[in-house]
């Protein structure tokens, strides 16, 4: 494909223009740029390039990819004609993006014939909030436009109750607390997020449920705490960033304060973070929806190794 930049497009970023011309999401356009398949006046284009009228953009045809079978549909904990709540397993990406196409939750929902509300981003139909790939637990998905609009509004007004269980390295100084710290891209590593002065407002509440110790480690190195955490905002990596800021990073998290010896002692190969409870007023019917999800076996086993019991749902919700 080859096209000339028009006057109305002048000054726009290359990834924005490319997404519009190809009819794909911006993340897909960025992925094409990352492969070197896009040239701007004969030079490899970068997503941040500002285009000028009269420049030529050449896009090489993508290499044929082997078809990927959609993953199985995760357990559905609640469903009606407007929305559903699924229990996402760790390892499942929520929606297509760079490096993931055909193997996401959205693909599983499509394959199961579940209707999804249209979205401004064609890669994210029905998706109103997300969980990280390696986070397990509850996620609500919209099937109708009315549900999508209502859920987005409720999230913005902080009316959706989201509760997580997190096992952290060390023990917070205070048994309960509120973390208010803005989050944005880490200026030293753009693949991570951090507390930055010009970041977006972010608020987390936490409560210590129990403390324990990993076997085979010294007292300081093996100390852990099980926290119940509530999100008031929903920034990317919010709990991971805020709990690291607190000085108690999530056990098993390779990106934020990794402590491999502690994770190994507890048998963890992914972050101990689980979306355990979800509550909201149904955006169409007005009925109260409240769902809880037990810890998956690998997280329950890690608690047992630390000498901790799995908390009952009422302690989390």
Q: Is 253 a catalytic residue?
A: no
Phi first, then psi, for residue 53 (nearest 5°) are -55, 135
Contacts of 203 (CB under 8 A, 6+ apart): 178, 179, 180, 231, 232, 233
Are residues 74 and 93 in contact, defined by beta-carbon separation less than 8 angstroms?
no
Asked if residues 36 and 44 have their Cβ atoms less than 8 Å apart, the reply is: yes
- Of 231, 224, 275, 228, nearest in space to 251 by CA: 224
Q: Which two tokens stand for residue 41?
A: 């006046």
Q: With residue 300 as reference, give the H or E element that holds it.
A: helix 297-305
On whether the CB atoms of residues 241 and 253 are closer than 8 A, the answer is: no
Which residue is catalytic, options 132, 134, 186, 253? Answer: 132
Q: Which residues are catalytic?
A: 132
């Amino acid at each position: 494909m080859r096209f000339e930049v028009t006057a109305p497009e002048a000054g726009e970023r290359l990834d924005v223009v490319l997404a519009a011309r190809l009819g794909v999401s911006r993340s897909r356009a960025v992925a094409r740029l990352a492969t070197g398949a896009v040239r701007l006046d004969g030079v490899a284009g970068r997503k941040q390039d500002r285009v000028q009228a009269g420049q030529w953009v050449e896009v090489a045809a993508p290499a044929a990819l082997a078809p990927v079978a959609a993953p199985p549909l995760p357990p559905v904990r609640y469903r009606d004609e407007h929305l559903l709540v699924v229990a996402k397993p760790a390892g499942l990406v929520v929606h297509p993006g760079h490096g993931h196409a055909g193997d996401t939750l959205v693909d599983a929902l499509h394959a199961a014939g579940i209707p999804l509300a249209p979205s401004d981003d064609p890669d994210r139909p029905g998706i109103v909030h997300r969980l990280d790939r390696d986070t397990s637990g509850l996620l609500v998905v919209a099937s109708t436009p009315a549900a999508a609009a209502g859920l987005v509004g409720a999230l913005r007004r902080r009316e959706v109750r989201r509760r997580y269980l997190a096992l952290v390295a060390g023990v917070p100084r205070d048994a309960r607390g509120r973390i208010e710290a803005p989050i944005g891209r880490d200026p030293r590593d753009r693949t991570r997020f951090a507390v930055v002065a010009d970041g977006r407002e972010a608020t987390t509440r936490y409560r210590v449920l129990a403390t324990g110790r990993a076997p085979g480690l010294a007292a300081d190195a093996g100390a852990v705490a099980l926290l119940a955490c509530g999100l008031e905002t929903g920034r990317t990596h919010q709990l991971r960033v805020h709990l690291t800021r607190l000085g108690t990073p999530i056990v098993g998290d390779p990106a934020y304060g990794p402590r491999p010896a502690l994770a190994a002692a507890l048998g963890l190969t992914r972050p101990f973070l689980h979306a355990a409870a979800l509550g909201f007023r149904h955006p169409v019917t007005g009925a109260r929806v409240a769902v809880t999800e037990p810890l998956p076996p690998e997280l329950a086993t890690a608690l047992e190794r630390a000498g901790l019991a799995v908390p009952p749902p009422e302690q989390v919700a």
